[in-house]
Amino acid sequence: MSGARLVRLLATAAAVSLAVAGCGGGGGDAPDGRDTGAAAPNVPAGAADPRGDGKAQCSGVNLAYVGSIAGDNAALGIAILNGAKLAVKQHNDANPNCQVTLKQFDSEGSPDKAPGVVTQVINDPSVLGVIGLPFSGESKAVGATINQAGLVAITPSATNPALARNGWRTFFRGLGNDAVQGPAVARFLTEELKASKVCVLRDDSEYGIGLAETVRGALKDKVVCEDQVKTKQKEFSATIGKVEQARPDAIFYSGYYTEAAPLAQQLRDRGVDAKLVAPDGAKDDEFVKNAGDAAEGAYLTCPCVPADAFTGFFDSYKKEFGVEPATYSAEGYDAATVLLKALDKGLKDRAAVLEFVRGYEGQGLTKKFRWDATGELTETPVWSYRVENGKIVKHKPIGS
């Protein structure tokens, strides 16, 4: 199924509470991930459920989350971690004879710290699968090491396309990459926002640079200015000067919320009224909180489906953690569910779990999961969101 067709399907499904019928979907002990129980409210039909049939038996096998828990942009990692924790809790509550521990390792999202943390994970033989790493830079730094260990890793959020081009057999991406999001962003800017002049700004991360390049390539001659800022930068007068000179209709900022928030503030303080669009790295309540009134009306894009579409998941997450699901919470839940299905099959070593994931095909909450030989998904929705009255709300699906 093409990305455009899937987006249309999701749009229709949203209008009818996402009563989506999954093809080839769902769980229990079935090898393709089919679930034997009835679907929860607003969950795509056949979606894999971490609880399975409650009859799983396993011992001494665990999973790990590797990613940011503290440090800059930690909120993005915590959202993923909580999604994975919810899946493991639901699994353990339903399967008394298969109790899985989700071990947590904090990389702080840093390419410098991630290698040492990953070494700890690899040296723990009980860990048969990893949810992570969330960011592209840290994923690049450790991908070869994880591959050498034969340890399957499903990232719910790292989007740099080059990660899948390294020949890593253990790398799987649980969302669309920037080669999907970039053209979708360009279409949103030109077709939805009617922008004919766009400034493309980026940070200095692997993620920010890669996505900006993809968007710039899709926009072509509509790009009237470009600039790069640094991680942890707080003052943006030079960049804003370039924007003021170009007088764009819209600004696309490719980076994370830590820098996006003060940039948005300073743009508005200088009277720049161009429409602001930022990607999934900025799609977090911390952006709205830190940008204040300057965030109002900003658009955010994400290769993720709105979590509030799935009532059962949304309510369970909020009850468990006291907050609503955030960006990639549902993707973290889906990634953990796939790995739990492998353990429920009685698989006891990393090689077996890797082959299970490689051949997996089934409906999840957010999409149908089936990977090609490089670890890329075959179906990848992209959505736009908007800040309204101090909250990030879903806007509409956009094509790639």
Tell me which of 378 and 92 has the higher pLDDT.
92
pLDDT for position 41: 52
Q: What residues contact 327, with CB distance under 8 A and at least 6 apart?
A: 76, 79, 157, 280, 283, 284, 302, 304
CATH number of 51-361+378-400: 3.40.50.2300
pLDDT at 15 over 70: no
Which percentage of the chain shows pLDDT scores above 70? 89
- Kindly report, residue by residue over 216-266, the tens digit of the pLDDT: 999 999 999 999 999 999 999 999 999 999 999 999 999 999 999 999 999
Residues 343/357, Cβ–Cβ less than 8 Å:
no
Helices (H), the chain: 3-15, 74-94, 114-122, 136-149, 178-187, 206-219, 237-246, 257-269, 285-291, 311-321, 329-344, 350-358
CA distance 299 to 388: 10
pLDDT at 72 over 70: yes
Number of CB atoms found within 10 A of residue 247's CB: 12
Please, is 255 exposed, middle or buried when counting C-beta atoms within 10 Å of its C-beta (0-12, 13-18, 19+)? buried
Q: Please give the average per-residue pLDDT across 65-89, as a whole number.
A: 95
Angle (nearest 5°) at CA 374 between 69 and 168: 60
Q: Please give the average per-residue pLDDT across 373-385, as a whole number.
A: 93
Lookup: tokens for 6: 């899937």
Q: 381: closest CA among 360, 400, 362?
A: 400
Q: What residues contact 322, with CB distance under 8 A and at least 6 apart?
A: none
CA distance 90 to 245: 54
SS3 83: helix
- Kindly report, residue by residue over 169-224, the tens digit of the pLDDT: 999 999 999 999 999 999 999 999 999 999 999 999 999 999 999 999 999 999 99
Q: Please give the average per-residue pLDDT across 265-283, as a whole number.
A: 97
SS3 152: strand
pLDDT for position 395: 92
Q: Please give the average per-residue pLDDT across 19-38, as a whole number.
A: 32
- What pLDDT band is residue 142 in, cutting at 50, 70 and 90? very high
pLDDT for position 42: 66
- What pLDDT band is residue 334 in, cutting at 50, 70 and 90? very high
pLDDT for position 379: 83
- What pLDDT band is residue 308 in, cutting at 50, 70 and 90? confident
CA distance 28 to 224: 53
Task: Give the residue extent of every domain in the chain.
Answer: 51-361+378-400
Lookup: tokens for 337: 């569910």
Question: First vs last Cα of the chain: how many Å apart?
Answer: 13
pLDDT for position 150: 98
Residues 72/362, Cβ–Cβ less than 8 Å:
no
Mean of the per-residue pLDDT values of the chain: 89
Residues 222/251, Cβ–Cβ less than 8 Å:
no
Lookup: tokens for 138: 């840290």
Output b/e per residue, 109-137; b: 16+ Cβ within 10 A: bbbebbeebbeebbeeeebbbbbbbbbbb
Q: 201: closest CA among 270, 257, 263?
A: 263
pLDDT for position 46: 80
What pTM, to 2 d.p., does this model score?
A: 0.84
Instruction: Give DSSP secondary structure letters for 89-122.
Output: HHHHHH-TT----EEEEE-TT-TTTHHHHHHHHH
At residue 194, φ and ψ (nearest 5 deg) are 60, 35
